[in-house]
Amino acid sequence: MRWGVAALVVLTVVTMLGWPVYVTPQVDQLRHADAVFVLGGSGDAAYTLGLEYALQGYTADVVFSNPNGAEAIWLTDLCSHQRYRFTVSCVEPNPRTTRGEARALERLATAKGWHSVIVLTDAPHITRARYIIQRCFHGDLMMRESETELSPLEWARSFIYQTAGFVRAAVQSGC
Interhelix angle 152-171/123-136, nearest 10 degrees: 20
What pTM was estimated for this model as a whole? 0.90
**Which one, of 115, 60, 119, 114, lies nearest residue 93 by Cα?**
119
pLDDT at residue 9, rounded to an integer: 62
pLDDT digit of tens for each residue in the chain (175 aa)? 777 666 566 666 666 666 677 878 899 999 999 999 999 986 788 999 999 999 999 999 999 999 888 888 888 888 888 889 999 999 999 999 999 999 999 999 999 999 999 999 999 999 999 999 999 999 999 999 998 788 989 988 988 999 999 899 999 989 9
Residues 6+ apart with CB under 8 A from 165: 98, 128
- Give the pLDDT of residue 98: 96
User: What is the rounded distance in angstroms from the CA atom of residue 159 to the CA atom of residue 52?
Assistant: 29
Q: In 3-state terms, what secondary structure has residue 175? A: coil
Domain boundaries, the chain: 26-171
**CATH domain 26-171 topology:** Rossmann fold (3.40.50)
